[in-house]
Amino acid sequence: MHVDPAERNFFIIGAALLVVFFVVLTISSVAYGIQLPAPEMRIDPRTINDPEASPFGLPVDERLRELAPGKYEVYMTGQAWAFQPAEIRIPAGSTLTIYATSKDVQHGFKLQGTNLNFMILPGQISKQTGTFDEPGEYTFICHEYCGVAHHVMFGKIIVEE
């Protein structure tokens, strides 16, 4: 079978690129730990306001907990068009684990300058952990279109000295 040299080169380059992409994906996943966030667990949305059922039902100012010195967790809810809590204060050097779920439709979470990035879905709890060494204000935004005021749905993590 005759294959034109240009066509053969096209196949070779295409196959080589597939190998390159596979290697890059493997390295970023295994060596750098970059992976798609998987749902941590499920939650019945009907119980979301019940403090007996889960920490998501607690008053907003009680959703941030210090588990140990420098180790925090926060139970965050998204709803049209706000995060609760929308302001989180932790000292520099802290590790913060975010648990998040939605009270209504799908929302997203993206923290500027970091790879903290996940979806916030009703019925599902997303979980991600970040370490904050540099003091400053880090804005997080909703990155899933959730209605007319989607663009004003944001909050911040304030890392104090």
| Piece of the chain touching ligand CUA by CB under 6 A; list 12-20, 89-97, 111-119, 144-152 | 144-152
Q: What residues from 57 to 86 belong to the interface with ligand CUA (CB under 6 A)?
A: 78, 81
| Piece of the chain touching ligand CUA by CB under 6 A; list 18-26, 55-63, 68-76, 140-148 | 140-148
Angle (CA) 78-122-86 rounded to 5° is: 10
User: Residue 103 corresponds to which tokens in the numbers above?
Assistant: 């009270």
How many residues bind to ligand CUA according to rule CB under 6 A?
Answer: 9
Residue 102, judged by CB atoms within 10 A of its CB (0-12, 13-18, 19+), counts as buried
Residue 152 near ligand CUA by CB under 6 A: no
CB of 106 to ligand CUA, least distance (A): 8
Residue 121 near ligand CUA by CB under 6 A: no
Residue 150 near ligand CUA by CB under 6 A: yes
Residue 107 near ligand CUA by CB under 6 A: yes
Which residues contact residue 35 at a Cβ distance below 8 angstroms, ignoring those fewer than 6 apart?
29
* Identified binder of ligand CUA from the candidate list 90, 146, 157, 159, rule CB under 6 A: 146
**Residue 107 or 156 with smaller CB distance to ligand CUA:** 107
One-letter amino acid at 135 equals P
Residue 142 near ligand CUA by CB under 6 A: yes
CA pair distance 152, 161, nearest whole angstrom? 28
**Residue 58 or 119 with smaller CB distance to ligand CUA:** 119
Peptide bond into 85 cis (omega under 30): yes
CA pair distance 110, 49, nearest whole angstrom? 24
DSSP 36: P
Contact criterion met (CB below 8 Å) for 157 and 132: yes
The residues binding ligand CUA (CB under 6 A) are 78, 81, 107, 142, 144-146, 150, 153
